[in-house]
Amino acid sequence: MLFLLSTVIMFSQRRTCHTGTKLQELKNNIPGFTEHHQDVMSYIQNPNNEQAEFLRGPNAPTVVVTIPVVFHVLYKNATQNISDAQINSQLTVLNNDYRKLNADFNSVVPAAFRPLGADVEIAFCKATRTPTGASTTGITRKSVPSNFIFEDSYYLSAGQLAWDPTKYLNVWIGRFSDNQILGFAYLPSSAGQPFDGLCIGDQYFGTTGTASAPFNKGRTGTHEIGHYFGLEHPWGEDFSSCGSAANNDGVADTPAVDNPHYDCPTFPTNVNTCTTTANGAMFMNYMDYVNDACMAFFTAGQKTIMQNTLAGPRLSLLTSNGCASLGLDNEAAVKAIAVYPNPVSRYFMITSPQAEIDEVEIFNSVGQLVKTQKLTQTNNVINIEEFAVGTYYLRIYNQGQFVKSDKVIKK
């Protein structure tokens, strides 16, 4: 009985990522979102994604992509109003982890897995310009009442409204009412929504101040931003059995497991693996649940997904003037117009972060015009739910002038 009680207490104290719960809420509450999410994930998990060649190809406009970040601190007392130094410490961790410059890579990642480690070529900077062009420190601060539910209201007027989520990575820092939550982020299927970004408990943010062991090395931020750029947990969307459709993170070089790992396992271990191997589970990957000190890398396969995300759902981040602009030339700006996901069940998006566009025409396979729609947003939703299965051709215009052609497959 004592052993059982100890086990229950230990399990109840484990902190977890809340991303899956937030995803399920969207599926339950938004008609058609499940299909859209599946289409987007299939799109970004395709290792041969043609749109991503814009970033990977020999004429890629840059190597390292810089993402402007705004940090929103929502505090209930002075302790939770974390210092600039704590925020800066988190930024340093992100820039090291996403460039494979973290000092613990060789000591934490076993030799068998090191060749799979990837420099994701993403950098992060605190925003220097607000959406209206004013100077900023990249940090907002707001006192909230003691009964404020951080995980539910962070993005509402009671909390802090997001800065344009098509141009900034919004990070909200506060104190969760559920003490089992480390943080959560929204996957690319929610790109541009007012709640899009990530939330982190102040006790799990950065490496100083209120950050508390064993989550005081900034890896909750690294993990959650992985979700933001399209990565799932190694076991897929939920704790599903090995071999099931849901038990898949879409990454070929992360060994399949059916449950997370906690604390600091000893390498090698085949606990939770779907296939027993000499190297066992890749528990030291940033997307697992081990302690901060025991995770230290992304793989090349995970990098591909993040690049695909930056070439599609989060393309508009590339030309934000929040802190550093990609500065595309005209030809590159046109090439960067993204049509995704593809194939599609219900609706697809057209994103053009720099080239001006205002209208799309859609033609069926025999050349008949079947739809015309004005394009007024950075991320434009094009609904083709009523279309028959098949291939459709797009002509994209600005002020009556042809800009780009593309195609989309309705499945």
Helix ranges restricted to H, 150-296: 150-153, 219-228
Catalytic option among 224, 331, 359, 385: 224
Determine the Cα angle at 323 with ends 321 and 324, to 5°.
75
Q: Which two tokens stand for residue 106?
A: 């060789």
Is 224 tagged catalytic?
A: yes
d(CA 105, CA 108): 6
- The residue to which tokens 């959560």 are assigned: 184
Residue 370 CA to residue 95 CA, distance in Å, equals 46
Q: Letter for the amino acid at 347?
A: Y
Q: Phi/psi zone of residue 32: left (φ > 0), alpha (ψ -120 to 50 degrees), beta?
A: left
The 8-class DSSP code of residue 285 comes to: B
> Could you give the count of Cα atoms lying within 13 Å of 349 in the half-sphere of its Cβ?
27
- Buried residues in 3-30 as b, exposed as e (16+ CB within 10 A): eeeeeeeeeeeebbbbbbebbeebbeee
Give me the half-sphere count of Cα atoms (radius 13 Å) on the Cβ side of residue 351: 24
Query: What is the bridge-based pairing of β-strands 65-75 and 139-143?
Result: parallel
Angle at 223 between CA 144 and CA 51, to 5 degrees: 110
CB 314 within 8 A of CB 59: no
DSSP element (H, E) containing 165? none
Residues 234, 222 contacting (CB under 8 angstroms): no
* Rounded to 5°, angle at Cα 400 from 394 and 403: 50
Helix (H, G, I), strand (E, B) or coil at 106: helix
Cα–Cα nearest to 195, from 26, 396, 373: 26
Which residues are CB-neighbours of 278 under 8 A, at least 6 positions away? 112, 268
User: Which residues carry out catalysis?
Assistant: 224
